[in-house]
Amino acid sequence: MRDNRNFWLYAMGRFVSLVGSGVQDVALPLFILDLTGSGIIMGTFMIVSMLPRLLLYPIAGVLGDRLNRKWIMVWMDFGRGAVILVLALLALRNLITIPLLFGAQFVISIMNALFGPATSAMLPDIVEKDELMRANSILMSLNSTAYIVGPALGGIIYGTGGIMAAFLINGVSFIASGISELFIKYEQKVKNITNVGEIVEGLKEGLAYIKTQKGILTLMSFALVVNFLAAPIFAVLYPYVMRVVIKFTAEQYGLLETSFMGGILLGNIILGAFFANKKAENLLIKGLVFGTILLFVFALLISPQSIAFFSGPSWEMFVAIALVSVFMGASNAFVNTPINVEFQQLVPTEYRARVFSVIEVMGQGIVPIGYGLVGILLDNAPAHEIALALTFLTFVSVVLFVTKYSKTVFEDFENRKKEPEVEISP
């Protein structure tokens, strides 16, 4: 990986933008919760952040296979940077409102949708096949490092400079990322799009490929259920509990977000150093089981009894939650990185962006509903009870997958890799 100039330009561009995103990802929930104190508003914001991306992902996948992936990345980074810098200017003049923030996030989410499939599909084209696990581990480690630095800075910056400073840093980081990506040398054979019908046809081809992959269909069905149950815990319930229930400071909340990403970094370092050649199935199962146990620990830790025992937002409570977050992050790495490698090895480049976009929708499609439901529940029920209920359902889903389906999924993956690539007809 040391001599791969394209990979490092790709990786460092992502690193810079993710540092800025980490700052904003901490500052925005704090800003919304400080302004409204509402779980419903927080859940709605997460829906606005995610729903346009999911709706547009299949089309974005077609564009990622039919247009040059490098230029999609560059222009979407520049576009997001411009929108966020406008938000910084509005914040400087105290003109930020919740409706305005939601509207801007909707636009950014559209650009996120166009950016994601092209970026994911591009990586296997700029590194050798036998370097994919190491490249993914390096990339995830850099991403995790960015999200260690970003959230830690985010809490401090929000506490001292407010939301304007967070917007400014994130906007500049996207512009810097786009500049880095300009220097990537990337050749991609593409079919020019001349009408909407070709986009529809390309989407049909991607769906046709997915239909032939029993292992992917089964794994994504499981992911759909688990993400629906667990994702709202991290995206909606976690910031609500930290800021509204326990009442940690902005700086403490930023460091807690950092601890989770530090765990992902630790997990990817371990994967790259010791488990690069281990079976993805074994790594996935370990990550799922360990992660579910930790969710139970977290749910108990945020109960009123535990909060009273640790005297609320004390540093003892902070350390306890931080440790759990670190280990949850590590288990997350053991789930996501092996799956990414499997998909990158399995899917031919001519279908990759379309397939990755469909996979994203399959795995995340009903998560916005979970965000909305948890947001409503937080304004009407104790947070620890919501966390316990969601964790129990997650545990049931994991047990069913591990005992009945995981072996079949990965056997199908191995068989598919041995088959010659064939043309898929919609």
DSSP line for 228-255: HHHHHIIIIIHHHIIIIIS---HHHHHH
What letter does residue 97 receive in the DSSP assignment? -
What letter does residue 131 receive in the DSSP assignment? G
Instruction: For residue 20, name the pLDDT band (cuts at 50, 70, 90).
Output: confident
Give CA–CA dist 118/124, Å, rounded: 11
pLDDT for 199: 58
Give CA–CA dist 224/366, Å, rounded: 7
Give CA–CA dist 420/133, Å, rounded: 22
Nearest to 105 by CA among 19, 15, 31: 31
Bigger pLDDT: 268 vs 386: 386
Bigger pLDDT: 418 vs 271: 271
pLDDT(390) > 90:
yes
pLDDT(422) > 50:
no
**Residues 193 and 67: beta-carbon distance below 8 Å:** yes
Instruction: For residue 367, name the pLDDT band (cuts at 50, 70, 90).
Output: confident
pLDDT(424) > 60:
no
**Residues 174 and 84: beta-carbon distance below 8 Å:** yes
pLDDT for 425: 46
Distance (Å) of CA 119 to CA 130, 211, 289, 352? 19, 23, 30, 10
Q: Tokens 């800025």, residue?
A: 20
pLDDT(301) > 90:
yes
pLDDT for 420: 52
pLDDT for 14: 78
**Which range among 180-194, 197-211, 212-226, 395-409 has the greatest average pLDDT?**
395-409
Among 23-32, 75-84, 212-221, the range scoring the smallest mean pLDDT is 212-221
| Average confidence (pLDDT) over 236-265 | 86
> Three-state SS for 412?
helix
| Average confidence (pLDDT) over 197-215 | 67
**Residues 386 and 378: beta-carbon distance below 8 Å:** yes
pLDDT for 324: 94
Distance (Å) of CA 48 to CA 98, 103, 376? 12, 8, 15
Tokens of 101: 């923030």
Question: Chain-centre distance of CA 293, in angstroms?
Answer: 21
pLDDT for 354: 66
pLDDT for 276: 65
Instruction: For residue 273, name the pLDDT band (cuts at 50, 70, 90).
Output: confident
- Measured distance between the N- and C-terminal CA atoms of the chain, rounded to whole angstroms: 37
pLDDT(426) > 50:
no
Nearest to 267 by CA among 337, 333, 182, 195: 333
Bigger pLDDT: 212 vs 161: 161
Give CA–CA dist 48/41, Å, rounded: 10
| Average confidence (pLDDT) over 247-269 | 84
pLDDT(93) > 80:
yes
- pTM of the predicted model, to two decimals? 0.74
| Average confidence (pLDDT) over 403-409 | 79
pLDDT for 159: 81
Tokens of 393: 């359902």
Question: Could you give all domains of the chain from N- to C-terminal order, each with its CATH number?
Answer: 5-184+196-418 (1.20.1250.20)
**Residues 216 and 359: beta-carbon distance below 8 Å:** yes
Helix-strand-coil split of the chain, %, nearest 5: 85, 0, 15
Instruction: For residue 256, name the pLDDT band (cuts at 50, 70, 90).
Output: confident
* Cα 9–Cα 10–Cα 11 angle in degrees, nearest 5: 95
- Summary mean pLDDT of the chain: 80
Contacts of 66 (CB under 8 A, 6+ apart): 190, 191, 192, 193, 198, 199, 202
Q: What is the pLDDT of residues 61-80, one digit of tens each?
A: 667 666 777 888 888 889 98
Instruction: For residue 283, name the pLDDT band (cuts at 50, 70, 90).
Output: confident
Tokens of 47: 């829906």
Q: What is the pLDDT of residues 43-56, one digit of tens each?
A: 888 888 877 777 77
Q: What is the pLDDT of residues 136-155, one digit of tens each?
A: 778 777 877 787 888 888 88
